Amino acid sequence: MFTSHTQSPSPPLHSPAVELQSVTRAFGNRTVLKDITLNVEHGELFGLLGPSGSGKTTLIKLITGIDRADGGSVRLLGEQMPKLAMLQRFGYMAQSDALYNELTAKQNLQFFASLYGLSGSDRNRRIEASMAIVDLLDHLDKPVAAYSGGMKRRLSLAISLLHEPELLVLDEPTVGIDPVLRQSIWKELLAMRDRGTTIILTTHVMDEADKCDRIGLIRDGHLTAVDSPAALKLKSGTATIEDAFIVLGGGGPA
């Protein structure tokens, strides 16, 4: 699935963080992503918004190199994907948690920290900082099997933040997380964006979409509109993103 790291020409200096060019993906005879072209710029907080089954997760998997496009090109931080060596350069939170249930949270974090090349005091500092963001510091030594669904989501988010990546790819990061913590996680995401981290995430939640710098509306495998929330509302003559989605995307979002 991944190509191994081979000597490749240096990426262009000012390439976008994520560059999708005419990307398609089919499963059997069903095309689920159709001619997707999109650039996400460095330091941007970009949201992918669309109904269940519209293709958001499939697109995220192509961006991270977990899956390979059938057509078109996917470049991440200037590199053609999929590419194994890129794993250290971005943080990824999948929709289903990839955690070792029999280990404690701390042991899970230590495992992922070692994959990212973190060790010693650096590793401990990053584990503490990431767990503080998701408010799980008091649960470091608990086995993941004893975590609730929302706690597992938060731990997965902490893992994606461990190595302070320049790019974060988050598939529905706040699903199952209560409103208070959701707000504090968003505060942190916006602060990371302000410090220059590029963030691409999927969401079903309209007020989350409103917080993004730009949103891509996806329906039935087509990217139907890409712009800032304000511009999308203006373009569609609507007061809310939900209504903008209906006008620009041809149906309700959830």
Q: Residues interacting with ligand ATP, by CB under 6 A?
A: 27, 32, 50, 52-58, 95
Residue 181, H or E segment: helix 179-194
At residue 45, the 3 state secondary structure works out as strand
Output the smallest distance, CB 6 to ligand ATP, in A: 28
According to DSSP, the residues that pair with 24 across neighbouring strands are: 71
How far is 108 from 78, CA to CA, in rounded Å? 30
Q: Residue 227's beta-bridge partner residues?
A: 215
Q: Which C-beta is closer to ligand ATP: that of 21 or that of 31?
A: 31
Q: Which residue's CB is nearer to ligand ATP, number 64 or number 108?
A: 64
Closer Cβ to ligand ATP, 133 or 226, answer by number: 226
Q: Could you count the other beta carbons within 10 Å of the beta carbon of residue 121?
A: 8
Q: Position of tokens 């963030």?
A: 199
Q: How far is the CB of 117 from ligand ATP (least distance, A)?
A: 31
Minimum Å gap between C-beta 45 and ligand ATP is 19
Q: Smallest distance from the beta carbon of 141 to ligand ATP, in angstroms?
A: 32
The C-alpha angle with vertex 235 and arms to 198 and 31, in degrees rounded to 5, equals 65
Q: Which is nearer to ligand ATP, 234 or 254 (CB)?
A: 254
3 vs 95, which CB is nearer to ligand ATP? 95
The radius of gyration of the chain's CA atoms, rounded to the nearest angstrom, is 18
The token pair at 66 is 């977990």
C-beta of 60 vs 113, nearer to ligand ATP: 60
Per-position DSSP letters for 80-121, written without gaps between them: ESSBGGGGGGEEEE-SS----TTSBHHHHHHHHHHHTT--HH
CA 115 vs CA 82, 83, 136, 163, 218: distances in Å:
18, 16, 21, 10, 33
Least CB distance to ligand ATP at residue 50 (A): 5
Nearer to ligand ATP, 53 or 117 (CB): 53
Q: How far is the CB of 225 from ligand ATP (least distance, A)?
A: 16
CB of 58 to ligand ATP, least distance (A): 3
- Tokens 């948690």 correspond to 97
